[in-house]
Amino acid sequence: MAFMLIPPRDFFMGSSEAELAEFLEPADARNEIWPHNVIRSEGPRRKVLITRPSYIGKYEITQAQWQAVEGNNPAEFKISPPHPVDMVSWDDIQSFLEKVNKEPSLKLRFPTEAQWEYAARAGTTTRWHCGDTEEDANQLHQMSEPTNPVGQKQANAFGIHDMIGNVNEWCADRYAPDYYAKSATNDPTGPAKGNSRIQRGGSIMHHANYCRSAFRLAISPYLRFKSPYLRFKSHGLRLAMPIDVPKLNASNTAWASTPTTPPGRLVRRKKSHHG
């Protein structure tokens, strides 16, 4: 697994009122309740601070990686080992994490929703990290089956691939439609209660509008089963890993990552005597 180092910083999370109005209008014209509710939950846009560095997967978890850990390949699109694994539920992934984290050096987990959007935006404020128009998004996204092998589309400025489409990516957070209006500013982790879980990034099943950096998909409890058990051919994952900052500081080593850092590489440097 390859990971990119994501530095701490603040960013604007969610959609502006203008963006909400633009995407709510067609949904309301068609009297589509589900799109209205999930789009409305993208606001209010607010400044969020990611206070700690972390690693996030350069790629979505592949079928080969899943097979190596779980001994099976649940994917609908069994095309090649580098394709993203799909058809994985919340509970399936708990099993995967338990097994892979037996390696002492690993502490893999879902990214929080805030970590995911920060990593997806990679310093941008546009609707997609590659621009503001559907034409921009469709350079990196296709609304057709099957999925693409990971890493084939251009990476964002953090060197992360496939943050637009391919498979929906589970996040750690539960869902509440009004959470953004009352969430913490620093390192928000979602509401404490709720059956639905967040997915981000959109998929090959979605129009580009539902693959925007701010778009959030909630797997609803109204589907007559507990949402974490849901398996669908657009459901995949990307993992994150925390950094032990005190341990890193004790080693007298600083880590730097910039948008121009070659993908998959970290830059190590010794601290100077001037801080």
Up-side HSE of residue 84: CA atoms within 13 Å toward CB? 32
What's the pLDDT tens digit per position in 221-264?
Answer: 344 344 445 667 889 999 999 987 766 565 544 444 433 333 33
**Which value, to the nearest 10 degrees, does the dihedral of the CA atoms of residues 71, 77, 79, 80 take?**
-40
Instruction: Determine phi and psi for 198, rounding to 5 degrees.
Output: -85, 140
Per-residue confidence band for 128, with pLDDT thresholds at 50, 70 and 90? very high
Looking up tokens 């032990």 gives 244
pLDDT at residue 38 tops 60: yes
What's the pLDDT tens digit per position in 203-217?
Answer: 999 899 999 999 999
Second-level CATH architecture of 3-270: Alpha-Beta Complex (3.90)
Q: Where are the domains of the chain?
A: 3-270
Is residue 51 within 8 A of residue 186, CB to CB? The reply is: yes
What pLDDT is attached to residue 271?
31
What's the pLDDT tens digit per position in 152-197?
Answer: 999 999 999 999 999 999 999 999 999 999 999 999 999 999 888 9
